Amino acid sequence: METQLDQALTSYVTSTSQALTVYLVPIAGSLVSLYYAWTALAMMRGDVNEPGSKLTKDVFTMTLVFMVALSVGQYQNFVIQGVYGLVSDLTSRVAAGGGDSVGVVLDKIFSDCVAMPGEAQCYPADEVLWKLALKHSNAIGFPEFSYMLASLILGVAEILIVVLCLLPVLLSKVALAVFLALGPPFILCLAWPVSRQYFNSWLSVTLGNALTLVIVAAICAIVPVLFQQLLAEGWRNLPTDGSAVYKRMLGVLIAAIGLGFTALKASQMGAQLAGGGVAMDGSGFAGQVINAVTNMVGRKQGGNPSSAQSSPDSPSSPNNTASKGASDGYKAGHASGRAVKNVLDALNKRK
C-alpha cells in the first residue's frame, strides 16, 4: 500500500510542479524586467548608493533561482529528488538498517520471528504464542489460557502501533507532496529580498514534514527490538511458569501504546526541529501579536501599554470599533499625504 501511495504522490508532484513552472515563466520574465527597469531608474536618479558588488550578487542570485525554479528538469532533480533522498537516507540510518521507509520498518513487526523453546525453527511472535497455547492444551483440548491471552494482547499491541504510526506518516506524506508540488513559486520568491520570507516559511514546513517521517521511523524501529527482548525474557521462565509470557505481553502492550502516542506527536517534533515550533503553538503566536499591538497603542497614546490593555472599553482598546475606524482612517490619510508629497518633490527636482 505504501508503494502505491508513493507512486501516486510522486506522479502528482511531478505533473503539478511542471505545470506551475510553465505557468510562472512569463510572470517571472515580467517581474524581472520591472525589477531591472526600476533599479536602472533609481541608479540614474542617484537613489541607489549600494556598491556594484551587491548588484552583481543580486543578479547572480536571481539567475540561480530562475535556473532552479523555472526549469522543469532542474526542480525535479535538485529539489524533489533531493528531499525524498534525504528522507530515505535518514530513515535507513535511524532504523538501523531496517528499511528506507516507515512501511518497511513496520513490516518488521510482522516479519521478525522468534524461535520456540527447544526448537531451531523460527516463527512470528504471535504464531509462537498460539502454538504454545495449543501445545499446553488441557485434557479436553482447550488451549492454555495464558498463552492464548498473551497472543491476543500481542495482536492488539501490533495493531495499535501500526495504526498510530501510520496516521502521522500518511498526513506527512500527503503534506510533503503538496508543498513540493507548490514549490516553484516559493523558490521564485527567493529572488527578491521583499518576498524571501515566503520561501523561508515554505522551507520550514517542508522540512518539518520530512523530519516527521524520519522521527516516526525512528520510533517504530524500536518496536521489533522491544518485542524480541520481552519475548526472549519470557521464554526463560517457560518450563516453570507459563504466565511469564502473559505478563511480558502486558509490558509490550503498554510500551506499544506509549510509542504509538509518541508517534502521533512526531509532527509537532518535526515542526519544532525545522523551526516551525511557533506555527504549531497558536497561543505563543497570538501572544506575540497581542504584545505588539498593545505596545504600539501605548506609544501612540503616550502612556503605559499595560494600562491601555487593561480597560476593554477605553478609546484606545482594539475592541472599540469607533477607535479602530478612526485609526484606519488616520493611517490611510497619512499614507496618501506622503504619496502626494513624494510626487511634488519629484516634480520640483525635475524643474
Q: In this structure, are residues 259 and 161 in contact, taking their beta carbons and an 8 Å threshold?
A: yes
- What is the domain extent for residue 326? 286-350
**Structural domains of the chain, count:** 2
Q: Looking at the structure, do residues 244 and 303 belong to the same domain, yes or no?
A: no
Alpha-helical runs (H) found in the chain: 2-45, 52-69, 72-74, 81-94, 102-111, 125-135, 145-181, 183-188, 196-220, 222-235, 243-264, 266-273, 277-280, 282-301, 305-310, 321-350
Q: Domain end: 280, 301, 329, which one?
A: 280
Q: Looking at the structure, do residues 194 and 311 belong to the same domain, yes or no?
A: no
Q: Looking at the structure, do residues 206 and 307 belong to the same domain, yes or no?
A: no
User: What does the pLDDT read at residue 278?
Assistant: 37
Q: Domain end: 247, 280, 313, which one?
A: 280
Q: Domain end: 280, 308, 323, which one?
A: 280
Q: Looking at the structure, do residues 296 and 346 belong to the same domain, yes or no?
A: yes
Q: In this structure, are residues 21 and 70 in contact, taking their beta carbons and an 8 Å threshold?
A: yes
Q: Looking at the structure, do residues 192 and 264 belong to the same domain, yes or no?
A: yes
User: What does the pLDDT read at residue 294?
Assistant: 41
**Separation of alpha carbons 202 and 279, rounded Å:** 12
Instruction: Return the bridge partners of 124, or none.
Output: 113
Beta carbons within 8 Å of 17's beta carbon, 6+ residues apart: 72, 75, 76, 80, 180, 181, 182, 183, 184
User: What does the pLDDT read at residue 251?
Assistant: 80
User: What does the pLDDT read at residue 241?
Assistant: 60
Q: Looking at the structure, do residues 193 and 107 belong to the same domain, yes or no?
A: yes
CA dihedral 172, 74, 30, 341 (to 10 degrees): 60
Q: Looking at the structure, do residues 309 and 205 belong to the same domain, yes or no?
A: no
Q: In this structure, are residues 254 and 153 in contact, taking their beta carbons and an 8 Å threshold?
A: no
Q: Looking at the structure, do residues 345 and 257 belong to the same domain, yes or no?
A: no
The single-letter code of the amino acid at 222 is I
**pLDDT beneath 50, residues of the chain:** 277-291, 293-294, 297-298, 300-326, 329-330, 340
User: What does the pLDDT read at residue 50?
Assistant: 65
- Cα angle 184, 22, 183 (rounded to 5 degrees) comes to 10
Q: Looking at the structure, do residues 99 and 228 belong to the same domain, yes or no?
A: yes
Q: Looking at the structure, do residues 217 and 327 belong to the same domain, yes or no?
A: no
This prediction has a pTM of 0.64
Q: Looking at the structure, do residues 317 and 274 belong to the same domain, yes or no?
A: no
pLDDT tens by residue, 188-229: 888 878 888 899 889 888 888 888 888 888 887 777 677 667
Q: Looking at the structure, do residues 341 and 192 belong to the same domain, yes or no?
A: no
